[in-house]
Amino acid sequence: MISTICINFNLKKTKTLANGTAPIYLRITIDGSRVEFSTKRYVTASRWNPKSQKMTGTTEEARIFNTYLKTLEQLVFATHQSMMEARLPITADRL
């Protein structure tokens, strides 16, 4: 069974901390069903690019931050691929 998968990273401005940083959440959508959870990483709103879904800048901090997000994304895709190969039912919750 073929399923569509979409992965988005979003800044949760509603959960901004006193130091001005807000958490980044990972949203996985599969065939219209979605699940969202925290990446456990925080960034200031001015350093977050919602269009490219990553931290702006070329500093070491930004590179490490964006590499972490890319690793999470690759892990989700690898798990999705494994579930497809095993012919397991794929849902956002199971993934």
In a domain, 72, yes or no: yes
Question: Is pTM beyond 0.75 here?
Answer: yes
Closest CA to 37 of 81, 75, 92: 92
In a domain, 92, yes or no: no
Domain count, the chain: 1
Closest CA to 24 of 35, 36, 10: 10
In a domain, 46, yes or no: yes
Query: Which range of residues forms the domain containing residue 70?
Result: 5-85
CA pair distance 26, 40, nearest whole angstrom: 10
In a domain, 24, yes or no: yes
Contact, 41 vs 68, CB < 8 A? yes
In a domain, 71, yes or no: yes
In a domain, 29, yes or no: yes
In a domain, 95, yes or no: no
Q: Residues 4-13: pLDDT tens digits?
A: 889 999 999 9
2 band by pLDDT with thresholds 50, 70 and 90: low
Residue 1 pLDDT greater than 60, yes or no: no
In a domain, 91, yes or no: no
Closest CA to 46 of 55, 34, 59, 35: 55
